[in-house]
Structure 1
Amino acid sequence: MMIVLSAGAAAAGALKGVVQNIIAPVSGLTSFPTLTIVNSSGLPLNTTDLKVNNPVITIFYYPLQDDPNFLLRLGDSSNMDIKINSTEVVIPANGNTFTSPDGVGPHGSVVAFSAICQHLGCVPPIIHYYPPSAKNEISDLPSNASSPAYIHCGCHGSTYDPYRGAAVTTGPTARPLPNVILDYDPTLDNYKVKSMVGPTIYGKPNDLEGGTPFPTGTTTTPIVLLGSGV
């Protein structure tokens, strides 16, 4: 089911989350599971469950129970869906690149990224999505920043562009957020998560280790709301 936590409660667990991601136990999976994302009623998530540019922090866990990921329905400054196209994303740390997935859903506007900052592992609510209405609250955003909105980490100022595969906009991070690959069923208007691409999730030996697997037979992962976002 959907779980709603206050920003204060989430903040209290943030440091613990950082430590867990720095010193992660080595256990995990041999392959990526395919899980259906479910809503507050435990039913498969529909597009209407997602608000365009929602400032409320919306996450789900994948591929392990310890791995939070942002779930975003992106739009413009008028809160109209924007189709997100696949793009080549540079990893500044090593110069390598990867191809981000297209947005999914009826408007191609739904995307998902790891919610663990790639700099030092800070987690929500310290890192969260700033919608177009709150973009100016990111004080260290460069003047030439052109995306409608950003993911920003309040620990040390790292900023990511969710419209371009969570590419690095400002450091100190030298790695984009790992991208989550979603699968959309237009007939049922349902969303599944099936894999990840990009750099390894922060603090892990690889995406499938360093945490607790879902119980055997698990087929769903619920969305979780953390406070009110910005």
Structure 2
Amino acid sequence: MLTDSAKDMGDGNAFLHVAIIMDGNGRWAKARSLPRTAGHKRGAESVRAVVEAAPELGITHLTLFGFSSENWKRPEGEVGDLMGLLRLYLSKEVRGLHRNNVRLRIIGDRTRFSQEIVTLIEKGEDLTRDNSGLQLSIALNYGARMELVEAAKTMARDAVAGKLDPDGLDEERFAGYLLTSDLPDPDVLVRTSGEQRISNFLLWQCAYTELVFTPVLWPDFGREALSQALVDYRNRDRRYGGL
């Protein structure tokens, strides 16, 4: 894991990691007397707009909360629509990401997805693996508590197998067991739609992350809103517990 103080990557370029909780699709649709599906479709367009704008705004890492492990509790029809949009995104957008030198990775538990979706994920990750531009991570069937529990299980197995000395465990080594082990911690976490909570997203990684809450609903979120969030972030004084 790259620490908060490690602001340079291996090639000497400063990084900026932005994480976004994409919220408000349903409210956007309801305000227009449209089905929730319409909000999700419009939200997918916002994903494209933000991914395109990110490099222009100096963002090197972008992590989007696409589908939480709790979202399976939604009505079956809505979940089916979301899975359909996911298949469409992975089928239609990945080659565009590749052309623009974007690396795609998916973090989360893939076991509940259909084999078709898992295959599309694997193909997208393989195609873009060597790309050196924007590092795009999308959290799907992800929950931070689940991530921490799974990390603890793996550590316990390694300890039993003699691969890990518990007394040698520190924060950096623990972070190596997380799904984001090769990513820097987020500098800023943006949540759209006016809600002010982080909803079980990147709990470990966001220990010193700046939080920005915007009333803009996700389907209306684009380059301008992202730029404004960065202005807010850059006006903060990040002390990491110091003076």
After TM superposition, the score normalised by the length of structure 2 is: 0.27
Q: Whose strand proportion is higher, 1 or 2?
A: 1
Whose radius of gyration is greater, 1 or 2?
Answer: 2
Q: Whose helix proportion is higher, 1 or 2?
A: 2
Q: Which structure carries more relative contact order (alpha carbon 8 Å, separation 6+)?
A: 1
After TM superposition, the score normalised by the length of structure 1 is: 0.28
